[in-house]
Amino acid sequence: MTIPEPVFILGVPVHPLTYAHWLELVGQFISEREPRQICTANPEFVMMALRQPEFMRVLLNADLVLADGAGLLWAAKKQGTPLPERVTGSDGIYLLAERAAAAGWRLFLLGAALGVAERTASALVGRYPDLIISGVYAGSPQDADFANIAERVRSASPDILLVAYGAPKQDFWIARHRQELGVPVSIGVGGAFDHVVGVQRRAPAWLIRLNLEWLWRLITQPWRWRRQLDLPRFVWAVWRGRGR
């Protein structure tokens, strides 16, 4: 199975994938055993990449960039290159765990607050009893902690490394270390662990259907208001025709 050509939104590549296609590619990457990076992008990512050339390089060099945010689907449709569906980290973690349980893939959960990765592992194994969690560790994206993390990850020999350090730290970290770690698939999952264990509630389904998940985040995480300013900036940039 080939990786589809990306759609470029304000210069950021986004791969036109469904959940099913994404999972098939994950399986292919695992069989090939080459270290791959998957990013989950939203409009904030795009605006961040426009301000930070080094982050743009991470996204350009990633093996897959998923359309995590509804705003990316809107922008792609507006520029005449529609994307098939959102592929989010918060929903994808369950589908990935389900497929991993069936296929025997080994997962390592890295990041989030102390104890959250362990609770996430318990919740996922409770839901998918055949799932193999080969390791969990909070750690940090700081260089001083890398040797400890590397020893744990290599000893665990996972097929998939889920990294929950938040964007863009997790994405820079994976880009910097994926070759050293040698894990076939590394994915930055942001707050997905928090959603699994209920540390941070996800938006109600009706808000998600209305593409208003950003509003829920603003209400429940008011400290994000500065980041949320990127949303109108993103809309304005796309409306000005810069999407191509």
The per-residue pLDDT for range 23-35, each reduced to its tens digit, is: 999 999 999 999 9
In the sheet that 106-111 helps form, which strands lie side by side, from edge to edge?
64-67, 36-41, 185-188, 160-164, 106-111, 132-137
In this prediction, residue 226 has a pLDDT band, given cuts at 50, 70 and 90, of low
Average pLDDT, the chain: 90
* pLDDT at residue number 225: 41
d(CA 33, CA 71) in angstroms, rounded, equals: 33
Select the more confidently predicted residue: 117 or 220. 117
pLDDT at 212: 54
Alpha helices in the chain (DSSP H): 19-32, 43-51, 53-61, 70-78, 89-103, 116-127, 146-156, 169-181, 192-197, 205-209, 213-220, 225-228, 230-237
CATH classification of 21-197 is 3.40.50, yes or no?
yes
Instruction: Tell me what the mean pLDDT of segment 132-149 comes to.
Output: 97
Task: Look up the pTM and report it.
Answer: 0.88
Could you give the CA distance from residue 97 to residue 131 in angstroms, rounded to a whole number? 7
Q: What is the pLDDT of residues 43-89, one digit of tens each?
A: 999 999 999 999 999 999 999 999 998 999 999 999 999 999 999 98
Q: Residue 230: pLDDT band by 50, 70, 90 thresholds? A: confident
What residues does each domain of the chain span? 21-197, 205-236
